[in-house]
């Protein structure tokens, strides 16, 4: 069917006597000139972000979870979690531009129903004895120091057979999924997925013992930007890179910045980081973030194992990754 606006638009364009006339004529055509000045330009000389270096203290967040545990159960809140929303202007949930983190708690005897979603997820277990996860029918423990994976579109649930509350840090790429828009979510039709196998040796679980052994055997970083560091394999979760690194007491890393977003959480130890000029004093279980292109430096007060999740490999895949090191 012919567009009834066409004769008028063609006439307006033909009769345009100034750029202002042209700009006015382009509005109903859903077009915009590429050459005009904009409040937010289309291109700029180096990365900048509204997201800020930020820090959440585990002891404070644990208290908040305990309060939530008194007020809401898993029947009402399928996942009892508190999201770490970066104080960036206009942000209401994301921790960095592409990643979101949350502290989560489950009480003894509780079970969280099975569901699945497009975003990839992981958990860093901070305090747990007797909690477990079920991923695609495979039940495995979630003990203190473990890192547990839930690749996108895997059924997953968790429960707790112990006698004390269990706490962990969640990490997901939900903000990235929102930006790209392939979001899917589904609740399990039977509420709980059938358990087909019980094993401590799930490919979706890195035990604390394994993590310590691997990082102790790692080579020192010749550039000095990191401690002895290993990457934990998560091939089914290509948008999230997972590292653990060992920092010796008194060690200071070389300053660097890169075009990736990073979330840090000390699994043991304490120290200070300077990110984008902001000094952050951290201890075990805390979470702090380094948004893209902020200078990052760590100083360990005690022997430390530092967990890192990052979108670095997404940036590398896209040929967007760049890193600078201080002299």
Residue 195 tokens, joined: 């358990």
Mean pLDDT value across residues 140-165: 97
Arch. (CATH architecture) of 210-325: Sandwich (2.60)
> Measured between alpha carbons, how far is 283 from 58 in angstroms, rounded to an integer?
8
Check if the beta carbon of residue 227 is closer than 8 Å to that of residue 246: yes
Mean pLDDT value across residues 204-218: 97
Q: How many CB atoms lie within 10 A of CB 268?
A: 17
Give the helix, strand, coil percentages of the chain, each rounded to 5: 20, 35, 45
Angle among Cα 79, 83, 85 to the nearest 5 degrees reads 165
pLDDT number for residue 1:
44
Give the mean pLDDT of the chain. 95
Tokens 């430096």, residue?
297
Mean pLDDT value across residues 105-121: 95
pLDDT number for residue 6:
62
Structure confidence by residue, pLDDT tens digits, 266-302 = 999 999 999 999 999 999 999 999 999 999 999 999 9
For the chain, state the CA radius of gyration: 24
Q: How confident is the model at residue 5 (pLDDT cuts 50, 70, 90)?
A: low
> Measured between alpha carbons, how far is 266 from 286 in angstroms, rounded to an integer?
6
Q: Looking at the predicted structure, is the pLDDT value of residue 57 above 90? A: yes
Q: How confident is the model at residue 79 (pLDDT cuts 50, 70, 90)?
A: confident
Q: Which CATH class is domain 54-206?
A: mainly beta
**Burial category of 150 from C-beta neighbours within 10 Å (exposed 0-12, middle 13-18, buried 19 and up):** buried
Task: Evaluate whether 54-206 and 210-325 have a shared fold.
Answer: yes
All structural domains of the chain with their residue ranges: 1-43, 54-206, 210-325
Q: How confident is the model at residue 236 (pLDDT cuts 50, 70, 90)?
A: very high
Mean pLDDT value across residues 229-252: 98
Q: Looking at the predicted structure, is the pLDDT value of residue 215 above 90? A: yes
Mean pLDDT value across residues 52-71: 96
Question: Which residue, among 137, 77, 145, has the nearest Cα to 105 in the 3D structure?
Answer: 77
In this prediction, what percent of the chain has a pLDDT beyond 90? 88
Q: Cα 12 vs. chain centroid, distance in angstroms?
A: 50
> Measured between alpha carbons, how far is 326 from 322 in angstroms, rounded to an integer?
14
Q: How many CB atoms lie within 10 A of CB 90?
A: 5
Tokens 């077009």, residue?
31
Structure confidence by residue, pLDDT tens digits, 96-106 = 999 999 999 99
Mean pLDDT value across residues 51-77: 91
> Measured between alpha carbons, how far is 311 from 53 in angstroms, rounded to an integer?
16
> Measured between alpha carbons, how far is 50 from 96 in angstroms, rounded to an integer?
9
Mean pLDDT value across residues 174-194: 96
Mean pLDDT value across residues 119-147: 97
């Amino acid at each position: 069917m012919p567009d009834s606006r066409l004769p008028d638009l063609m006439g307006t364009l033909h009769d345009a006597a100034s750029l202002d006339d042209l700009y006015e004529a382009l509005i109903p055509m859903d077009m915009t000139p590429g050459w005009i000045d904009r409040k937010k330009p289309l291109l700029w000389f180096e990365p900048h972000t509204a997201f800020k270096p930020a820090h959440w203290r585990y002891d404070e967040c644990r208290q908040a979870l305990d309060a939530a545990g008194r007020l809401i159960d898993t029947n009402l809140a399928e996942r009892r979690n508190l999201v770490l929303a970066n104080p960036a202007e206009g942000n209401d949930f994301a921790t960095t531009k592409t990643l979101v983190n949350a502290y989560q708690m489950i009480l003894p005897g509780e079970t969280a129903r099975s569901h699945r979603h497009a975003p990839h997820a992981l958990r860093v277990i901070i305090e747990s004895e007797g909690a477990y996860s079920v991923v695609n029918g495979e039940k495995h423990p979630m003990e203190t120091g473990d890192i547990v994976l839930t690749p996108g579109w895997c059924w997953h649930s968790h429960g707790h057979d112990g006698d004390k509350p269990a706490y962990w840090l969640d990490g997901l790429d939900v903000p990235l999924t929102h930006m790209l828009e392939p979001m899917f979510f589904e609740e399990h039709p039977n509420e709980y997925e059938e358990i087909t196998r019980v094993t401590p040796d799930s490919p979706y679980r890195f035990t604390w013992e394994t993590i310590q052994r691997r990082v102790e055997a790692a080579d020192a970083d010749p550039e000095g930007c990191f401690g002895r560091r290993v990457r934990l394999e998560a091939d089914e979760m290509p948008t999230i890179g997972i590292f653990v690194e060992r920092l010796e007491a008194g060690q200071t890393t070389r300053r660097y910045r890169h075009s990736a977003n990073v979330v840090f959480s000390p699994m043991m130890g304490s120290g200070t980081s300077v990110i984008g000029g902001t000094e952050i004093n951290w201890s075990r279980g805390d979470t702090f973030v380094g948004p893209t292109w902020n200078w990052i430096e760590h100083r360990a007060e005690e022997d430390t194992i530092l967990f890192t999740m990052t979108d670095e490999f997404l940036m590398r895949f896209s040929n967007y990754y760049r890193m600078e090191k201080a002299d």
